[in-house]
């Protein structure tokens, strides 16, 4: 993913006054990117769950309360990026049902809960049904938690403050260390 993001940064460098990334550290997807001309503004976030919960402090709170939680949102369910969607659309065609089910359950064995984040942008009922289906299949407890779109709005509209964002100077490379140290 860093290469794809870098390509977009390069394409925007001639016309963008500033570049704000809508990504957290998730899977190191932004590590190594840089904006030679403008620098980068990067949200202080481990991953996009922070964005749907509304703040880094909200993320820290739910993570401390229930560290073994797999989060679902409207987008993940709609795009079939939930565990069952990935199982059916990606893994079963590649390795067959038995191996796919084993691999999915093995990869998620340390999770104990599935939480549906309710950001109030959609009817929750069809999402709830799919989230419950995932929880039953994976033998996890189910819960719903209130989300907020404040951080996403701030990423799009600003203002960009040092409390919620990191500022990388022109040519400075985004590093895992810089992001993680900002989250302490």
Statement to judge: residues 79 and 134 lie in one domain: yes
Statement to judge: residues 96 and 117 lie in one domain: yes
User: Residues 50, 24: contact at Cβ < 8 Å?
Assistant: yes
Other C-beta atoms closer than 10 Å to the C-beta of 154 total 19
**13-39 tens-digit pLDDT:** 889 989 999 988 888 889 999 998 889
Q: Which of 44, 37, 75 is nearest to 58 (CA)?
A: 44
Domain count, the chain: 2
E runs forming strands in the chain: 40-43, 69-72, 113-118, 141-146, 165-168
Statement to judge: residues 165 and 85 lie in one domain: no
- The pLDDT of residue 183 is 86
Q: Is 147 in a helix, a strand, or coil?
A: coil
**77-119 tens-digit pLDDT:** 999 999 999 999 999 999 999 999 999 999 999 999 999 999 9
Statement to judge: residues 74 and 113 lie in one domain: yes
Statement to judge: residues 79 and 119 lie in one domain: yes
Task: Please give the residue range of the domain that contains residue 123.
Answer: 57-146
Distance (Å, rounded) from C-alpha 43 to C-alpha 56? 9
Statement to judge: residues 63 and 24 lie in one domain: no
Q: pTM surpassing 0.85?
A: yes
- The pLDDT of residue 117 is 97
Helices (H) and strands (E) counted in the chain, each on its own, are 10, 5
Statement to judge: residues 138 and 72 lie in one domain: yes
Statement to judge: residues 19 and 41 lie in one domain: yes
Statement to judge: residues 26 and 76 lie in one domain: no
């Amino acid at each position: 993913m860093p290469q794809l993001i870098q390509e977009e940064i390069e394409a925007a460098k001639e016309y963008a006054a500033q570049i704000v990334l809508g990504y957290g550290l998730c899977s190191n997807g932004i590590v190594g990117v840089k904006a030679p001309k403008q620098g980068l503004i990067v949200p202080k976030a481990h991953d996009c769950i922070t964005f749907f919960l509304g703040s880094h402090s909200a993320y820290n709170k739910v993570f401390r309360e229930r560290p073994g939680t797999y989060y679902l949102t409207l987008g993940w369910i709609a795009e079939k990026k939930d565990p069952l969607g990935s199982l059916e659309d990606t893994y079963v065609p590649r390795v067959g049902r038995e191996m796919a089910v084993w691999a999915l359950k093995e990869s998620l064995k340390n999770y104990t809960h599935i939480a549906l984040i309710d950001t109030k942008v959609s009817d929750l009922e069809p999402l709830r049904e799919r989230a419950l289906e995932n929880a039953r299949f994976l033998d996890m407890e189910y819960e719903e938690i209130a989300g907020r779109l404040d951080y996403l709005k701030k990423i799009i509209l600003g203002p960009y403050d040092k409390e919620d964002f990191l500022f990388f100077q022109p040519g400075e490379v985004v590093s895992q260390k810089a992001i993680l140290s900002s989250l302490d």
